[in-house]
DNA sequence: TCCAACATTATGACTGAACTTATCGCTATA
DNA sequence: TATAGCGATAAGTTCAGTCATAATGTTGGA
């Protein structure tokens, strides 16, 4: 008796994992559950809402709540700042700015960022090292129309990643993962061989409906991104 | 006046993104906010709790709520069943079982799944096609100790992925992404060339504290996993 | 037979109040 | 001076009740 929303959640989850409530089957309504657990409906509601958020159950007004047929499993990844990622592994972080140039945006970038012809962008190439070993290669393009302050920023000490989070507190982003082959230049930077398989992250961010920056991060050979869910 | 939790959440978010509330600064307490928005404390609480879940703010009892210095951004990925993934792209799904064998678990697998010496596992190799084009290569190992039903299951029609979600409604999982090179055999399967960079997903799942299956999914060359956050 | 209007129902949201818990900062004691 | 204890505070949780909303199924009329 006197169940907390955590108790209720755990019990419902147990009923699902053990198979007592089969996928697709209807779960008792909130009022009934509140009575069986001896708590208020709001408590049951919170438990069920969290389970629905996690993709285990499906809720529809009037239709009731049912166990999902094919539970939509979601994995959550923390997207850390490189410095933090490296320091959390107990390694020493080092940053180096390889190049910095203001150029007219190439067409492929204009298309991605929705930029007018002839728009100027800041192109940065940086390296991130963990204990002196190459960790990540960063190829970043910043839209100077959206972020004119970047023109005067000095990226030789502070990485663009960290500069950006201080300049823009929050932004929408699209992130995508893929595998690419290291060309000769990338192999040099990352201390691997040409033709090595690299884990690559691309990210596009917006702020106030304006595309902000496009970045392509190439990790050293063998890098893995892991999470539990 | 009469703000919903969505209004409150949106307004707080706006204050953060616009920089009105700087990173690290303290946000008014729930009671004050409830008054300014003209709603109950529980409403403000829900808005703030969701923002805290999303990693934008940090809450501590007595200390109050503050805007995170470096917002921990999280990306959420749906982990779909291959069939669904392919069919949602509007392509025709085809499955083929390449091989099926019951073998003694190799040492590397025993280590991963915490299996006793000599434990038997079911080893499956499957291919998934989208519109006839190779999409994903699946190399799966099932712990027969934890899942004896798998011994009698016929995987020639139904893929192990789908069989598993019906056999086990829910499980804990560890998932990891990396980039690997296609060897000659994999290149044959995926219709690419040897030395191509492949996006690879490895997944280890548990059910009731027993390691269940280990699977290694290799996607065809050029595959990307994308999400917004 | 078809369909629009309506009552029903389960979830969704909000309120105002109470109680719980973690923790900060102060104070009194060793 | 260090620290153990204590009170105040803000978030965390729960409650019972109300109103809102979406979707379903039924009823009655054309």
CATH of the domain spanning A5-67? 1.10.10.10
Distance CA B77, CA A216 (A): 19
Q: Outline which parts of chain B fall under CATH 3.40.1410.10.
A: 77-224
Torsion of CA A111, A112, A117, A121, to 10 degrees: -160
Q: Is the dihedral of CA A21, A26, A29, A35 positive or negative?
A: negative
Sequence-distant contacts of B101-106: CB under 8 A, at least 24 apart: B102/B144, B102/B151, B105/B141, B105/B143
Contacting residues of A for B76, CB less than 8 Å apart: 74-77
Contacts of A36 (CB under 8 A, 6+ apart): A28
User: Is the confidence at residue A176, as pLDDT, over 80?
Assistant: yes
Q: Distance of CA B147 to CAs B133, B168, B170, B193, Å?
A: 32, 9, 14, 36
Distance CA B110, CA B141 (A): 11
Note whether B197 contacts A179, CB cutoff 8 Å. yes
User: Is the confidence at residue B125, as pLDDT, over 90?
Assistant: yes
CA distance A37 to chain B (A): 22
Taking residues B84-110, what's their average pLDDT?
A: 94
Q: Give the one of B71, B169, B179 whose C-beta lies nearest to A170's C-beta.
A: B71
- Please give the structure tokens belonging to residue A56: 């285990």
Q: Give the one of A74, A170, A227 whose C-beta lies nearest to B78's C-beta.
A: A74
For the segment A214-225, what is each residue's pLDDT rounded down to a tens digit? 999 999 999 999
Per-residue pLDDT, B141: 96
CATH class for the domain made up of B77-224: alpha beta
CB-strand contact B58/D, under 7 Å: no
For the segment B195-216, what is each residue's pLDDT rounded down to a tens digit? 999 999 999 999 888 899 999 9
pTM above 0.95, yes or no: no
Per-residue pLDDT, B215: 96
CB-strand contact B52/D, under 7 Å: yes
Which of A3-12, A22-31, A162-171, B26-35 shows the lowest mean pLDDT across its residues? A162-171
Kindly give the residue spans of alpha helices, DSSP state H, lying in chain A: 5-17, 30-37, 41-53, 82-88, 107-113, 160-167, 184-190
> How many CA atoms does the CB half-sphere of A194 hold within 13 Å?
3
Q: Outline which parts of chain B fall under CATH 1.10.10.10.
A: 5-67
């Amino acid at each position: 008796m006197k169940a907390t929303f955590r108790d209720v959640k755990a019990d419902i989850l147990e009923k699902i994992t053990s198979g007592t409530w089969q996928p697709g089957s209807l779960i008792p309504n909130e009022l009934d559950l509140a009575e069986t657990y001896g708590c208020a409906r709001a408590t049951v509601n919170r438990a069920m809402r969290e389970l629905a958020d996690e993709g285990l159950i499906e809720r529809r007004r009037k239709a009731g709540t049912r166990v999902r047929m094919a539970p939509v499993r979601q994995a959550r990844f923390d997207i850390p700042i490189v410095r933090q990622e490296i320091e959390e592994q107990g390694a020493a972080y080092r940053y180096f700015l390889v190049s910095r140039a203001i150029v007219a945006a190439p067409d492929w970038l204009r298309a991605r960022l929705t930029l007018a012809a002839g728009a100027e962008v800041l192109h940065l190439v940086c390296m991130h090292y963990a204990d002196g070993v190459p960790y990540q290669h960063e190829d970043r393009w910043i839209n100077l129309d959206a972020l004119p302050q970047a023109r005067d920023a000095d990226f030789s000490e502070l990485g663009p990643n960290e500069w950006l989070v201080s300049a823009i507190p929050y932004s929408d982003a699209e992130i995508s993962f893929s595998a690419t082959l290291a060309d000769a230049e990338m192999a040099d930077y990352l201390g691997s061989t040409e033709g090595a398989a690299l884990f690559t992250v691309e990210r596009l961010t917006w702020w106030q409906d304006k595309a902000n920056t496009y970045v392509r991060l190439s990790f050293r050979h063998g890098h893995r991104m892991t999470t539990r869910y």
